[in-house]
Amino acid sequence: MSEELLKRKLGAFDAAMIVSGAIIGSGIFINSAESAKFLQTSSQLLLVWALGGLVAFLGGLCFAELGAMFPRTGGQVVYLEKAFSPWAGFLFGWTLFSTIQTGAIAAVAYTCASFIGVFLPLQRPVTVLLAAAIIWLLSLVNILGIRPGSIVQNIFTALKISALLGLIGYGLLWQRPAPLELGALFPQGFNLGILSAFGLALMPALFSYGGWQNLNFVGGEVKNAARNIPLAIISGVAVVVVVYVCSNIVYVKALPIGEIAASTRLASDAMRTMAGPLGASFISLAIIISTFGITNVFIMTGPRVYYVMARENMFLPVASRLHPRYGTPHHSILLQSVWATALLLTNSYGQLLQYVTFGDWIFFGLTALALLALRRKSPAIERPYRTWGYPLVPLVFLAVSVAVVLNVIISSPLKSAVGSAIILGGLPIYVFYRRKERTKRP
């Protein structure tokens, strides 16, 4: 099996840093403004982000059981294959490579480079080249071994959490010139309109909370994975939820809900209100650190999925090779970087991400369903960790995933149709690889 060839070098702390680092990107610095556009009061904004954190925690609990149950490389490719069929796992891996992971790498690397431009003004072509350089620098680091990659991850995750704690600490101690008015939770009563608004406001929060699943991609390289994967997911997600909710408390303390909704750089605007231009510069630096770190974790984890697929004859054969010296799936890393750079240079990553962002939640829902199916299908498999609150927890997470997907379909039918076509476009490729494998058999 592929996971036997990859060495277990990641401890519990490394794993927790991957979880937190894969969640914290640029979203917490910006997306509360997107949520606020649908809301009336600051108290509603705080509730929405608390609910988003709860959903993330429920999802993390589901992935914790599956990660301990199958402590191997590949994550959802493995879970969907075991619960349903190899084609289900393949479609996830195909979507991850074609758009989700590579598009995210291109997007966050560009965000990192653009915020460097705050300190060193850059024209767009130079910003794009700088983003490409970030991708290839971090790819080289991760080719050199999972330990160098995890050391970079540990440093930048610690720095980004420290930066957010600095924002939170300063904001909580800041003396507001006027009394804080959070506003009523339901100023006009609770009705379907409020419920719909909350659903729309929850979307940016849910997207900002995503990313914990990246640890499961490298499950075969985690020491004592049956213990450390659940521990890392639960602790890593919990830390992020606390930090995110506290960050939103600072935002509503610094700015009224109307100004939050109108802001395009919320964290910078909040710090500018509290600490002047120096505070805004601090946030720009924090976003550079945060996006650099999340680019690293995406580059580290994604290639393990393609590697497993190639080992199972469901991807390019070259991706199944490990570096003879460093023991990393170097060809998978290079393939990912080439495609991410192509998306970056053609400026198509943003559009692709819009088309298939809801696809991420399709696979979240399928993974929750896989947990439920495996409890019935394979009750005898050892489960070192069992999801707290089963079956309610996976059922609620499944329901939220379905609601997110339906919301995107209703609000953006064209984008969801194109996204579905991209995902299902993997089926002919799957058939090709399966036929190719059958022709090799005697």
| pLDDT given at position 208 | 93
| pLDDT tens digits, 285-327 | 999 999 999 999 999 999 999 999 999 999 999 999 999 999 9
| pLDDT given at position 364 | 97
Give the residue among 47, 27, 26 at the shortest CA–CA distance from 38. 47
Share of residues in the chain with pLDDT > 90 (%):
82
Distance between CA atoms of 388 and 59, rounded to whole angstroms? 11
| pLDDT tens digits, 56-69 | 999 999 999 999 99
Q: Average the pLDDT over each of 148-157, 169-178, 207-216 and give the range with the smallest value.
A: 169-178
- pLDDT(352) > 80: no
pLDDT band at 2 (very low <50, low <70, confident <90, very high): very low
| pLDDT tens digits, 80-92 | 999 999 999 999 9
| pLDDT given at position 249 | 97
pLDDT band at 1 (very low <50, low <70, confident <90, very high): very low
Give me the mean pLDDT over the 48-53 stretch: 97
Task: Tell me the backbone φ, ψ of residue 280, rounded to 5 degrees.
Answer: -65, -40
Give me the mean pLDDT over the 373-384 stretch: 95
| pLDDT tens digits, 16-38 | 999 999 999 999 999 999 999 99
Q: Average the pLDDT over each of 181-185, 214-218, 354-358 and give the range with the smallest value.
A: 354-358
**Element (DSSP H or E) covering residue 210:** none
pLDDT band at 194 (very low <50, low <70, confident <90, very high): confident
Distance between CA atoms of 319 and 302, rounded to whole angstroms? 12
Task: Tell me the backbone φ, ψ of residue 218, rounded to 5 degrees.
Answer: -105, 25
pLDDT band at 51 (very low <50, low <70, confident <90, very high): very high
- pLDDT(110) > 90: yes
| pLDDT given at position 183 | 81
Q: Average the pLDDT over each of 1-10, 11-20, 206-215 and give the range with the smallest value.
A: 1-10
Amino acid at 345: L
- pLDDT(4) > 70: no
- pLDDT(77) > 60: yes
State in words which class domain 2-348 has: mainly alpha
Helix ranges (H only) for 96-224 are 101-119, 124-143, 146-173, 192-209, 214-217
| pLDDT given at position 326 | 96
Q: How many helices (H) and strands (E) does the chain have?
A: 20, 0
Share of residues in the chain with pLDDT > 70 (%):
97
- pLDDT(267) > 90: yes
| pLDDT given at position 25 | 92
- pLDDT(356) > 60: yes
Torsion of CA 278, 279, 285, 291, to 10 degrees: -160
Q: What's the mean per-residue pLDDT of the chain?
A: 93
Instruction: Provide the 8-state DSSP code for 388.
Output: T
| pLDDT given at position 436 | 81
Q: Note whether 291 and 26 are within 8 A (CB).
A: yes
| pLDDT tens digits, 240-262 | 999 999 999 999 999 999 999 99
| pLDDT given at position 329 | 98
Give me the mean pLDDT over the 399-412 stretch: 90
Six-digit token string for 315 = 């991807």
Q: Note whether 291 and 109 are within 8 A (CB).
A: yes
User: Domain extents for the chain?
Assistant: 2-348
| pLDDT given at position 177 | 78
- pLDDT(418) > 90: no
| pLDDT given at position 202 | 93
Six-digit token string for 178 = 């006027």
Give me the mean pLDDT over the 166-188 stretch: 86
